[in-house]
Structure formats: structure tokens, C-alpha cells
């Protein structure tokens, strides 16, 4: 077996000396400090992108099931646009190409561009799942709502969406976990997140195994935490006797 050297995380990033309490003092930064800050960036990118993805994705998914041909076409176009371009390419488009076309975008920090880029990419996938969820309901539900005198928005709000969202929670959980892993593309546009930390720290310390194991662990913990939270939400909103609800 290889010999482990976990002390590497206690070293400061300038003199490579082991800090007494593993956290840097007086402006010193240890690899542990850096690792935690990198984790913070990963989580920030993931959570904000997830919010963007769920909001935009739900909206697009709903549009694709409305009776209006124009709205359906718009939702379809959105989904296909963001679903058919590789994520990394999209991030580069946001970072390098769009700012040359729209100069004010130059001032936007790369962090926000990644949140939007990753959020829109995932929104296409969310839209597809929300659409599938809505269409899995019998058509009679919609007609019943409208026949009772509800407007179309009211039908969605009170009849269709409460059922559809409960059905699509499991696939949405997968998407939410994917977003944590996909956030590693932020490294390509200079966000100092976990992947960037791994590449740089392993080079500086020559302890690649320890660095990659720690980063792997944090990705796993982050994605698994989202999984558990989604499980909790699934439990809270369960309606016995409804699709996906009875157990």
C-alpha cells in the first residue's frame, strides 16, 4: 500500500510548513482552508444553478403542455437548444463568445455566468421531466378542472401541478445531484472550486492521491446530502393513494 500523508492538508500554501492547528493563522492559508473555500464555491454554484434550473425548467415544462402552439414551440425550442449543446461548450459560449457580442456582459463575474450557464443547461432536462410528469396525468384531470370553471392557470395551480410535481420528484432528485457533479465545469472559467483545487493542490504538494480522495469525498457528501433532502421533501408532501404517494 502507498504511504498516506494526510498532514499535507495542514501545510500552508506558501512555505509548505505544517500549521499547528491545521487552519492558517494571521493571513496564512493552509490547504485545508483552501479545500473548504473551494467546497464553498462548489456548493454556491450548485445551489444557485439548481434554483435557476428548477424555476426556468418548471416554467418551460409547463409551457410545453399548454394549448397555445406558440408557447409549446418556445418551450420545445428552449429545451432542444440547451439539451443538444455540450455543457462545457455552453459555458465557453457564455464566457468567451457572448461577451464579445454583448460588451456589458464582460463586467459580469464568471461565477454568475456559470450559474446561469449550468442552470439553463439543467433547466432543459428539468423541463423534459416536468412535461413528462404533466403528460402522465389522464387528460380528464385537465378537462375536469376547466369544466368546473377554473381558468387554465388555476387548473394548473390546483389540479395538474400538485400531482405532476409529486410524480417527478425522483427524476428531479437525480438532476439535482447531477448539478453538483456538473459544477466542476466552473473550473474551466476560473471559479476556484473543488476541481480547480484538486488540479492545483496535487501539483503543488505532489500528494495527488490524498487530494483527489478528499475532493471525491466532498463531491459524494454534497450530492448525497441533496439526495437525502429530496427524500425528506418526498416524504413530507406524500399524499396516500395518489400516484407515487402510497406506500
Partner 1 sequence: MFTKLVSPSTRRALLAAAALSAVVGSVHAQATDTLKKIKDSGSVTMGVRESSGALSYTLGDGKYVGYHIEICEKVLSDVRKQLGLSSLAVKYQPVTSQNRIPLVQNGTVDIECGSTTNNATRQKDVAFAVTTYVEEVRIAVKANSGITSIAQLAGKTIATTTGTTSVQTLRKHERATGVDFKELFGKDHADSFLLLESGRADAFVMDGQILAGNISKAKNPADFKIVGEVLSVEPIAIMIRKDDPAFKKAVDDSIKAMMKSGDIAKLYDKWFLQPIPPANTKVGLPLSEATKAAWANPNDKPMEDYAKK
Q: Which of 70, 100, 149, 241 lies at the binding interface for partner 1 (CB under 8 A)?
A: 100
Q: Is 93 in the site for partner 1 (CB under 8 A)?
A: no
Q: Is 76 in the site for partner 1 (CB under 8 A)?
A: no
Q: Is 217 in the site for partner 1 (CB under 8 A)?
A: no
Q: Is 139 in the site for partner 1 (CB under 8 A)?
A: no
Based on CB atoms, which residue is closest to partner 1, 130 or 201?
Answer: 201
> With CB under 8 A as the contact rule, which of the stretches 59-67, 78-86, 159-167, 198-206 interacts with partner 1?
198-206
> With CB under 8 A as the contact rule, which of the stretches 42-50, 169-177, 195-203, 236-244 interacts with partner 1?
195-203
Cell numbers linked to 92:
465557453
> With CB under 8 A as the contact rule, which of the stretches 119-127, 152-160, 200-208, 225-233 interacts with partner 1?
200-208
Provide, rounded to whole angstroms, the least separation between the CB of residue 58 and partner 1.
30
Q: Is 196 in the site for partner 1 (CB under 8 A)?
A: yes
Cell numbers linked to 231:
427524500
Based on CB atoms, which residue is closest to partner 1, 7 or 204?
Answer: 204
Q: Is 192 in the site for partner 1 (CB under 8 A)?
A: yes
Cα–Cα distance measured from residue 91 to residue 74, given in angstroms and rounded to the nearest whole number: 22
Cβ atoms 166, 246 nearer than 8 A: no
Q: Is 37 in the site for partner 1 (CB under 8 A)?
A: no
Closest CA to 135 of 83, 56, 61: 61
Q: Is 187 in the site for partner 1 (CB under 8 A)?
A: yes
Provide, rounded to whole angstroms, the least separation between the CB of residue 87 and partner 1.
11
> With CB under 8 A as the contact rule, which of the stretches 62-70, 75-83, 92-100, 119-127 interacts with partner 1?
92-100
Amino acid at each position: 500500500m502507498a504511504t498516506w500523508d494526510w498532514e499535507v492538508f495542514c501545510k500552508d500554501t506558501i512555505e509548505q510548513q505544517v500549521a499547528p492547528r491545521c487552519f492558517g493563522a494571521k493571513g496564512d492559508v493552509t490547504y485545508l482552508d483552501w479545500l473548504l473555500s473551494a467546497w464553498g464555491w462548489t456548493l454556491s454554484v450548485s445551489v444557485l444553478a439548481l434554483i435557476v434550473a428548477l424555476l426556468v425548467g418548471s416554467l418551460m415544462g409547463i409551457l410545453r403542455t399548454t394549448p397555445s402552439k406558440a408557447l409549446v414551440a418556445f418551450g420545445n425550442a428552449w429545451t432542444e437548444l440547451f439539451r443538444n449543446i455540450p455543457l462545457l461548450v455552453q459555458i465557453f459560449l457564455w464566457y468567451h463568445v457572448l461577451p464579445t457580442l454583448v460588451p456589458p456582459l464582460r463586467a459580469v463575474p464568471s461565477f454568475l455566468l456559470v450559474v446561469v450557464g449550468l442552470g439553463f443547461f439543467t433547466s432543459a432536462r428539468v423541463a423534459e421531466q416536468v412535461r413528462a410528469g404533466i403528460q402522465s396525468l389522464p387528460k380528464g384531470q385537465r378537462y375536469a378542472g376547466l369544466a368546473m370553471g377554473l381558468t387554465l392557470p388555476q387548473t394548473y395551480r390546483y389540479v395538474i401541478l400538485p400531482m405532476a410535481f409529486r410524480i417527478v420528484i425522483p427524476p428531479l432528485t437525480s438532476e439535482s445531484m447531477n448539478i453538483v457533479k456538473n459544477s466542476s465545469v466552473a473550473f474551466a472559467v476560473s471559479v476556484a472550486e473543488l476541481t480547480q483545487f484538486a488540479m492545483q493542490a496535487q501539483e503543488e504538494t505532489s500528494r495527488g492521491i490524498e487530494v483527489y480522495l478528499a475532493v471525491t469525498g466532498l463531491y459524494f457528501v454534497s450530492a448525497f446530502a441533496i439526495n437525502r433532502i429530496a427524500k425528506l421533501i418526498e416524504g413530507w408532501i406524500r399524499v396516500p393513494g395518489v400516484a407515487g404517494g402510497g406506500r
